[in-house]
Chains A and B, each alone.
Chain A
Amino acid sequence: MLEIKNLHVQLEDEDKQILKGVDLTVGAGQVHAIMGPNGSGKSTLSYVLSGKSGYEVTDGTAMLGDVDLLDLDPEERAAAGLFLAFQYPVEIPGVGNMTFLRTAVNSQRKARGEDEMSAGDFLKFIREKAKSLKIDADMLKRPVNVGFSGGEKKRNEILQMAMLEPKMCILDETDSGLDVDAMKLVAEGVNALRSEGRSFLVITHYQRLLDHIKPDVVHIMADGRIIKSGGPELALEVENNGYADLLAEVA
């Protein structure tokens, strides 16, 4: 599904290398988690994959299926099936959540040469998805993320994911700022989307989220590289001992 090879990335504005050769392969239907200390490059990886400006790829490749992601504009990556759940979802005053979602769904369909979804079908679809995430009609009417609580913002991210039905979902610290109940709700939303054709890359600091979203593989990232990969037990090890041992092991 997602195959990243030897990815080197630096900031456009300054000569600072952030990713120093990331290799990562996520198979179809799998859930991979990335953990790592602050500043290790986890969020940068998610931004580079989704096409945010300000980063320069100096080496390496990132393929989604047979699509070379790094050649595409952000909207083309989305239409190809990539989705990033933001760590800090952006507030967009003046754009209704519903309008935003309908525009997004239909833009992607158009880009893939599919018919646009009718207003009626869209409403039915969004109501069904919103209900399971406990998103009420008011949240759909309000401007995108404006005045949303932290939990509402993250639920709104998962709603978008559910509506857009991507192949590859990246969750960038989706658990940050969530209380236990909100985290559970978000995790249930994610689990409901798990399927054979859909893969997940879950970036997190805490093992707790992985109690709810069970990963197949856990990677530890440090200083711009994946330094260790293993099963779910690796996350527990981090939770209990921190990163110090792992970092020492590599050094």
Chain B
Amino acid sequence: MTVASKIAADPRLDGLTVPAGGWPTAARSSALMRLQTMGLPVKRDEYWRYTDPSALVCEAPLPCDPLQTSTPIFGTVDKTRLVFVDGVFDADQSDAPELAGVEITRLFEVNDLDLHWAQGLYGKLEEAGQSPVARPLAALNTAQATEGMLVRVTGKPEKPLHISYRQSSKTSEAILHHVIKVEAGAELTLLETGTPGARSNVVLEVDIADGGTLHHVRPQGRAHGRHVATHLFARVATEATLKSFTLSLNGQLTRNEIVTEIVGDDAAVHVGGACVGDGDAFHHDDTVFITHDAVNCESRQVFKKVLRNGATGVFQGKILVKAGAQKTDGYQISQALLLDGDSQFLAKPELEIYADDVACSHGSTSGAIDEDAMFYLRSRGVPEKEAQNLLVIAFLGEALDEIENEDLAADLQSRLEAWFSRHST
């Protein structure tokens, strides 16, 4: 009855059809059915308690001025770059999609290409991630996306794969769905950068086989007016490693969901993020759900936010340790530095544990800048604004430390420093 009433109550889905095109059509249809059962998110949903989804689901995207960037991100890092402009692949601006040890196929062109590995994944990890909490925007994405990359990693490519988003239209809507399969023992660094569109819905399904590794580093651009929903669904097998880091500067609404299931023993998942929000139009939400379903695995969540002038930050993070997932080492920390009394941080850390031999900890703090440290720096001659910037960068630096590649971390750090020196009030 609830299901039926919800369908009836969500006219926003009326007339929604799925794009046709090869084998993904079936996965899209199935996702649409899921979506119709769930309905689109509304503010009164418990999972959207701290973040109003209306701008993500209203009929047309709210306009967002594209940002002209001067210095290309990770400019000094050699990489294979795939460019999407307003959510559409742009071959002319991209490198040839060739990288030793990696097979790359554009979702738009997949038709009936026989990609067994992808057919078994597309929409499947998203579907698995719908329980125990519904994630309708991800189902919407699976049902609607025609763009994205299907990436199979069979070796250890010598350089990162770079998915680069650019926004050129003020009202573009970008729906992108990528699938990354890291085969046994393979390893990839995936860079995902920029703002896809005025409104973006991006899903990343990641399957890491035994002993495989994925490093994912995602600076989300600086466009002020952007509305973004992302989902990272990952399945992590025995002795596999997933490390994902997201940097968010500006943006009106960002909801980054990470849903990871650890299914093999001795695996590790590290997810982290740093976010800087300025102004009451800023709202940033990290929602993380990590399921331990194997023995002797480690997970880390490290999320830091700096908020000022009325900005809002949200963290919902959960560690679920299933029965039998012994020797789990789960760690979660979410911290906000509030630079004034107008900003707010809403945190909901959760642990749910059904195994008896585990070590799980979580912490969440929000506070002002350390006045003793400020005085110490100033007493050495460092001017107030500079001292504050030093302390803010240091605070975020503890999250940046989660990035293993030092060149990538240094690039993001210099971007943060530049942001703060430009925005010193």
Which residue numbers of A lie inside 8 Å of B, CB to CB? 50-53, 73-75, 77-79, 83-84, 86, 89-95, 99-100, 103-105, 107-108, 111, 143, 160, 164
Contacts and interface: CB of A to CB of B under 8 A. Distances in A.
B27 to A, nearest CB: 44
B381 A53 contact: no
Nearest to A143: B394
A53 B380 CA distance: 15
Given A51-B379, A103-B390, 20 more contacts: A52-B375, A53-B371, A53-B375, A74-B379, A77-B379, A78-B378, A78-B380, A78-B381, A79-B381, A84-B379, A86-B376, A90-B370, A90-B373, A92-B370, A92-B391, A100-B380, A103-B382, A104-B377, A104-B381, A107-B380
B59 interface: no
B372 interface: yes
A164 B382 CA distance: 12
Interface residues of B, number: 23
Contact of A92 (B384, B394, B398): B394
9 contacts: A73-B384, A75-B381, A77-B379, A83-B379, A94-B394, A94-B395, A95-B391, A100-B377, A111-B381
Interface of B: 370-373, 375-384, 386-387, 390-391, 393-395, 397-398
A145 to B, nearest CB: 9
B304 to A, nearest CB: 10
A93 B398 contact: yes
A104 B373 contact: no
B378 A73 contact: yes
A143 B390 CA distance: 12
Given A53-B375, A90-B376, A108 B394 contact: no
Contacts of B398: 93-94
A250 to B, nearest CB: 32
A107 B378 CA distance: 10
A107 B384 CA distance: 11
A104 B380 CA distance: 6
Given A94-B398, A95-B394, A103-B390, A78 B376 contact: no
Contacts of A84: 379
* B372, B375, B379, B397 interface centre (most CB from chain A within 10 Å): B379
Given A94-B394, A95-B390, A107 B381 contact: yes
B305 to A, nearest CB: 15
